[in-house]
Amino acid sequence: MGWTRRDFVLGGAASLGILAINTPTFAAAPSYFSGTRVDNGVTFRSTNFARIDRKWQRQVVKYFSSEPIGTVVVDTTHHFLYLIMENKTAIRYGVGVGRDGFKWYGRATIDQKALWPRWTPPPEMRQRHPELPEFVDGGSPKNPLGPRAMYLHRDGVDTGYRFHGTLEPGSIGKDASSGCIRMFNEDAIDLYQRCPIGTAVQVLPHIADQGESAAKISQANAVE
């Protein structure tokens, strides 16, 4: 049976196949970056976490949910992504979410993953921004997907939405994308390692008190 985005509870009009960015910005304030790292043979700029508000940085928090361990839950109102762990805890990541007109809510699964993915702007985006290239190679410093992409499907059909890295660390904690969930590049690498194919995903307007007011337990392990 086929599936379309109309099966989601839409928070606004979302164009099919749209990826994660507003008008692409292939540069960011230098102060958001500090030094470089090498990942799978690709050198990229490290996020300057000294510039980032602590609440957007990856950390382990108390989290109460009936969802199974390993489920990813996104709180779009508060700009947090939670990976549910054991003992009523979760790893919490700060994220950027869809701006007005591109918000969406619903369930999906991670059915595809990519290291340093190639980015191909969907036709709808190129109509709005004809200056965009046909594609940007994976590993390019101009690729808005960053080092990782996790592709969200439902009933075997690609929703067009992804979890992925970003060229704009300053957009984390904001409504900034065309529907995809942006993460710090280091966090996208971390989540990618923790989420196998088939990981369940739930995107919600908010999650009430399940995790928002919980105290931090410990810093999540950094990815080396």
Q: What is the pLDDT of residue 129?
A: 80
Q: What is the domain class of 5-217 according to CATH?
A: mainly beta
What's the whole-model pTM score?
Answer: 0.79
Active site residue 195: no
**Segments making up each domain of the chain, as ranges:** 5-217
pLDDT digits (tens, 9 = 90+) for 3-42: 444 344 444 333 333 344 444 444 544 589 999 999 999 9
> What are the CA-CA distances from residue 97 to residues 50, 79, 89, 178 (Å)?
22, 7, 23, 8
Q: Which of 78, 129, 153, 180 is catalytic?
A: 180
Are 187 and 92 contacting, i.e. CB atoms less than 8 angstroms apart? no
Distance linking the first and last C-alpha atoms of the chain: 43
Catalytic residue list contains 180: yes
Give the three-state DSSP class for 157.
strand
What would the pLDDT profile of 144-165 be if each residue is shown by its tens digit? 999 999 999 999 999 999 999 9
Per-residue model confidence (pLDDT) at position 56: 98
Q: What was the pLDDT predicted at 210? A: 58
Q: Considering 78, 129, 153, 164, which one is annotated as catalytic?
A: 164
